[in-house]
Structure 1
């Protein structure tokens, strides 16, 4: 016989018990190190404080699961390397791709994203498909998903790609003609244009959309594979909880 469904009160008690148990297990597993990069408006440093939409979501999850952890901002390649090789490392905002699937333990999506290859409005370039971009120099960020995606499509750093550690530097390079194209998340591109005192609709052209980078649903939180499964599940439950209780929506409205 199929048991009757749990009512809301019983489900809440059960969920709370699971979170408590997972929290104890997580505490026993050791301290968590949280790493990210400067990717405005998702994660960025303002007046010495780390903020941004993704950062506020991560902070809300940490509070929900009662885990104390500081967040460090660093170049993406360094953060990525730490999350690849060290235990108990949480990294965000990271795009989930087939190539990365088994490299991390995935918590869940924390922000939507849309990816484009941009050209400058002063030198617009029409791209019918990705192969057309091989005729131009494209700005990328070292080890970020845009660069990894293009390398996976046989683009070569130094031949087709100019790699750097800073997103704002790539926007500057595009506007000054040091590169012809730039691969970036849409909100990041718009934010950097506004920070430069410019209107993105007047300075940037969306030459080609990259839907393959959007299939995972956007930017994620993920743990290193050396992290205990109980810790990962704790954070998944915490993320689900802040989505259900309205905290996530309140953060998203603030930044969109």
Structure 2
């Protein structure tokens, strides 16, 4: 059936918008998959929705890039393995380290970070160097940057590292005295202490600064190697825009 000419004219703007939307959301290489973990306040599930400082930045970048994709939260080791081995995968919040440099296509920093070895304030005093921690038990998260950092310096899971798959479990172990130390991102550690009803400045002691763990001082978004360069560049430009137009700074202020 042929539509009247005036109907066709009326529909043209809507068809143009729809086609533009399809063009914007399409990516070279296929559908995008976004993976993350529960790392509050950067990425976390609240009321069935994934939110957090890094999540808001990633969502702003996707909007700027004209791309829509669901975000999947899962244990870090699984998210990390997915991004290592599958195509068109975007992962965040990931620390950029020399060990990981050639394993991903990096987009850029989505949130600030600073790593420490934490202790319970009444149990362990400040450490002079990392070697002082070798005789102690350290809580880590499976395949996260903190665990990889310590493994690369001769620490051993089952000897002086206790690995788990959830950050809040590590705080619970530290608080209960089942471990001596906890390697953690500062904002995450403070957030989890507050969520447990504790004053982090009274309970937690920063016993060793690990500023060298994240050389760029941030948590990143990165793509799997099996992602077209055009997609990566599209997201890099979108992140630059989000940082330049003030969106990134506004999000950071809300969460810090």
Q: Same fold (TM over 0.5)?
A: yes
* Contact 2:116-2:209 at 8 Å conserved across structures: yes
Deviation by residue 1:54-89 (Cα, 9 ceiling, x = unmatched): 000000011111111000000000000000000000
Supply the distance in 2 between the matched residues of 1:216 and 1:157 (Cα, whole angstroms). Answer: 27
- Cross-structure match for 1:130: 130
| 1:26–1:234 contact (8 Å) kept in structure 2 | no
Q: Deviations over 1:5-63 (max 9, x none)?
A: xxxxxxxxxxxxxxx9xx76962421110000000000001111100000000000111
TM-aligned CA deviation for residue 107 of structure 1: 0.2
Shift of residue 185, structure 1, vs aligned partner? 0.5
Q: Which has the larger radius of gyration?
A: 2
Secondary structure of the 1:126 match is coil
Quick check: 2:34–2:89 contact (8 Å CA) kept in 1?
Answer: yes
Q: d(CA) in 2 for partners of 1:57 and 1:91?
A: 13
Query: How many Å separate the matches in 2 of 1:217 and 1:193?
Result: 22
Q: 1:16 maps to which residue?
A: none
Q: Determine the structure 1 residue equivalent to 2:166.
A: 166
Question: TM-score by structure 1 length?
Answer: 0.89
The residue that corresponds to 1:13 in the other structure is: none
Q: Is the 8 A contact 1:45 1:51 kept in 2?
A: yes
SS of aligned partner of 1:187: helix
1:47 aligned residue: 47
Partner residue of 1:200? 200
> What is the count of residue pairs matched by the alignment?
235
Counterpart for residue 241 of structure 1? 241
**Deviation by residue 1:109-144 (Cα, 9 ceiling, x = unmatched):** 111101000110121233110000001000000000
For 1:142 and 1:69, how far apart are their aligned partners in 2?
26
- Structure 1 outlier segments of 4+, above 2 Å: 23-29
> What displacement does 1:216 show?
2.0
For 1:119, the equivalent position in structure 2 comes to: 119
Instruction: Give the unaligned 5+ runs of structure 1.
Output: 1-19
- Whether 1:83 and 2:87 are equivalent positions in the alignment is no
Partner of 1:150: 150
Write the mapping of 1:196-235 to structure 2, written as runs, cut at 5 A. Answer: 196-235=196-235
Does the alignment pair 1:255 with 2:239? no
Maintained 8 Å contact 1:25/1:231:
no
TM, length-normalised to structure 2:
0.89
Q: Once the 2 structures are TM-superposed, how far is the Cα of residue 213 of structure 1 from its aligned partner?
A: 1.3
Please report the RMSD computed on the Cα atoms of aligned residues, expressed in angstroms.
1.3
Is the 8 Å Cα contact of residues 29 and 228 (structure 1) preserved in structure 2? yes
| Structure 2 residue runs without a partner (length 5+) | 1-19
SS at match of 1:183: strand
